[in-house]
């Protein structure tokens, strides 16, 4: 038989430092790179996030009010709290493609 685990919720607050920059390559094409680091042992031990996307602006309701974008994102998190049987711990990296659309009102 395996071990039994009860389901529970975890929540915490992390301080975060981030940076985002966007470059307009033309009237309609842009790129955006963003990243942040957080945790510092306050909530999680350490977490990070980076994303790079390319976007294309077009008119949806007004001239150039929408942007479709595609790119790649990676998120890492190291978290551990408690000890012994009550210890909760993980160290993970999630990454993959991202697509989306932004509309300005």
Report if residue 6 sits inside a domain: no
The pTM for the full model equals 0.77
Q: Answer whether residue 85 shows pLDDT above 90.
A: no
Report if residue 14 sits inside a domain: no
Considering its fold, how many domains does the chain have in total?
A: 1
Residue 100 β-bridge partners? 69
Is residue 67 packed enough to be buried (19+ CB in 10 Å), middle (13-18) or exposed (0-12)?
Answer: buried
Report if residue 37 sits inside a domain: yes
Report if residue 7 sits inside a domain: no
pLDDT one-digit tens code per residue, 28-39: 999 999 999 999
Report if residue 1 sits inside a domain: no
Domain with 48 in it: 19-103
pLDDT one-digit tens code per residue, 15-25: 999 999 999 99
SS3 86: helix
Q: What is the number of residues in the chain?
A: 105
Report if residue 4 sits inside a domain: no
């Amino acid at each position: 038989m395996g071990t039994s685990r009860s389901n529970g919720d975890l929540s915490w607050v992390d301080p975060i430092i981030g940076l985002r920059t966007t470059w307009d390559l033309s009237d309609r094409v842009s790129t955006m790179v963003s990243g942040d680091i957080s945790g510092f042992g306050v909530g999680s031990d350490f977490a990070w996030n980076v994303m790079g996307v390319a976007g294309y602006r077009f008119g949806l309701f007004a001239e150039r009010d929408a942007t479709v974008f595609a790119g790649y994102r990676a998120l890492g998190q190291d978290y551990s709290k408690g000890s012994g049987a009550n210890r909760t711990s993980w160290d993970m990296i999630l990454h993959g493609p991202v697509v989306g659309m932004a509309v300005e009102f």
